[in-house]
Amino acid sequence: MKHRPTAFLFLILCIALTTGCWDREELTDRVFDLAASTDLNKDGTYLTAAQFIIPSRIEQSSKGGIGGEKPYFIVTGSGKNILEAIQKTRQKLSRIITRGHRRNYYIGEDLAKQGIKDLLDEFSRDPGNRIRMDMWVVKGNTGLEVLQVPYPLEKIPAVATLKIHKAIGAASGTTFLEFLMASSTEGSCPTLPVVDIVPGDSSQRTIRLYGRAIFNHDYQLAGYINFVEGAYRAWILKEISYLEAEEYIPEAGGSVGVVITNFGIKLKSSISPENKVKMEIELSGVGRVSENNTNLDLRMLKNLKLVQNTINKKTSEHVLEMVTKVQKQYGADVLGFNETLNRQHPREWNKIKGQWDTIFKDIKVTVNVKVNLKSVGLVGPPLQFKEGDSKK
């Protein structure tokens, strides 16, 4: 009983410390930044832009009111550095910018080519920037243009890129973090996903996922790999959930399309006394036939094996072409070969890591794809052929 007054005072103190509003920034005093961009002006200055939500219009549109009014608006600012450009943007807003909901950040191609060191420095120093977001390079265009492109399926266009990224099986909210991690890893070069603007229905434009942007160690854009090449890279890095592939079967005079899942990867490296590196890549997966434009009855094991062997051979060639392109054209290790070598040959890696950029270009790579076709669908021969026309 004698401890009851002390406990009562402690309870009162807890209530006083855990209730009430301790800052004066109400929701009505905030404006939410859902997506932003930075571009390089022709005079060398920076152009920043942000897409802000208008909550009242989203509520009205969900109830069927005020048609035709956009539930967002875009504000821009220019300056000789990024901080000044952001300040010019803030001067046009009546509320405090809140970036906690920002999911996408777009970098114009001209800025990416010049280099994004200044942008990364500003990002790393401002605690308002989320590390769990996606950064994108805009191929052949500016970030502002992407923010201005409407998307018919989403009320807020900034959401579209995020959902497209998820729809193709990629992880969302990770590209900025992955960029930072690759930048700090010995021998690695960072990459970012790429969008471009393409014609849509009628006179409208729409956004498309193009592939990956390859950066060098100075954070300058070195070049691109397209969507399929990016999928092969993701296979090597174990960052893929499914892949659609179609190959022409010469013996059957048509093509077969498959959907590949259950991916596997084995990397085996070796180093000669002359520091010559070899990398053996073995990719595996399970395939399902999604289209058959040949006269083959794929219920027959020999026909299925013919298709499987052709797809594996052709896919092996395609993956090797992508690896060679990254090696010879860009000279940037975005394939994780450095980490494989460090893991499998740590002592040798410590000796050659300072020369990795030169060594990487001359690595001898072999690729062997082993996709096991386990399903041909509900029908055997193609439906467009009569029973006697299909090849058994």
pLDDT grade for 157, boundaries at 50, 70 and 90: confident
Enter the pTM of the model: 0.86
Strand partners, 138: 108, 195
| Mean pLDDT of the region 351-372 | 95
Task: Identify the pLDDT of residue 158.
Answer: 81
Secondary element (H or E) of residue 321: helix 301-324
| Cα–Cα nearest to 205, from 136, 147, 135, 137 | 147
pLDDT digits (tens, 9 = 90+) for 217-264: 999 999 999 999 999 999 999 999 889 999 999 998 899 999 999 999
The radius of gyration of the chain from alpha carbons, rounded to an integer in Å, stands at 27
The rounded Cα 258 to chain-centroid distance in angstroms is: 23
Phi-psi region of 172 (alpha: psi -120 to 50; beta: other; left: phi over 0): beta
* Measured distance CA(319)–CA(280) in Å, rounded: 12
Strand partners, 39: 47
| 191-199 and 134-138 strand pairing | parallel
| Cα–Cα nearest to 39, from 164, 136, 127 | 136
DSSP 60: H
* Measured distance CA(9)–CA(295) in Å, rounded: 86
- Is 34 within 8 Å of 72 (Cβ atoms)? yes
Amino acid at position 357, single letter: D
Residue 116 has pLDDT above 60, yes or no: yes
| Mean pLDDT of the region 291-313 | 92
SS3 54: coil
* Measured distance CA(130)–CA(147) in Å, rounded: 19
* Measured distance CA(110)–CA(2) in Å, rounded: 74
In the chain, pLDDT over 70 holds for what percent of residues?
85
pLDDT grade for 295, boundaries at 50, 70 and 90: confident
Task: Identify the pLDDT of residue 262.
Answer: 95
Residue 64 has pLDDT above 50, yes or no: no
* Measured distance CA(333)–CA(77) in Å, rounded: 36
Burial class (CB in 10 A: 0-12, 13-18, 19+), 27: exposed
Q: Which domains does the chain have, with CATH numbers?
A: 27-219 (no CATH), 236-381+388-392 (3.30.300.210)
DSSP 330: I
DSSP 300: S
| Mean pLDDT of the region 287-295 | 91
